[in-house]
Amino acid sequence: MDVHRNVDASVEDVVEAHKKDVETQEKHGVKYLNYWVDEDEGAVFCLFEGPSKEAGEKVHREAHGLTADEIFEVEQGE
């Protein structure tokens, strides 16, 4: 899961960026699963599966240039 902080974008802007991620993801072996937006805090969280943190970052960089501030490797709880 990655975190984008101090994002100056509307929910609509984030929706468009996510669409671009989905268009680009296969090239890097990544699948973007979901995202969350907190407009008040200027934060966006993106959940993806992929071979590495770097692969997810490459998708963002290539799709729209909005790279994450942090990326966490997380596991689904039971």
Q: What is the CATH number of the domain that holds 48?
A: 3.30.70.3090
Write down the pLDDT at residue 77: 94
**What local confidence, expressed as pLDDT, does residue 67 receive?**
93
Q: Considering its fold, how many domains does the chain have in total? A: 1
The per-residue pLDDT for 47 is: 97
Residues of the chain with pLDDT under 70: none
Q: What is the pTM of this model?
A: 0.91
CA-closest candidate to residue 44, choices 53, 35, 52, 33: 35
Residue 66 lies inside a defined structural domain of this protein: yes
So what's the pLDDT on residue 15?
94
Q: Which domain holds residue 61?
A: 2-71
Q: Walk across the sheet containing 2-4 and list its strands.
A: 31-38, 43-49, 2-4, 70-71
Q: What is the pLDDT of residue 34?
A: 95
Residue 61 resides in a domain: yes
Residue 74 pairs in a beta bridge with: none
Question: Per the domain annotation, does 32 fall within a domain?
Answer: yes
- Look at residue 26 in the predicted model and tell me its pLDDT: 97
- State residue 28's pLDDT score: 97
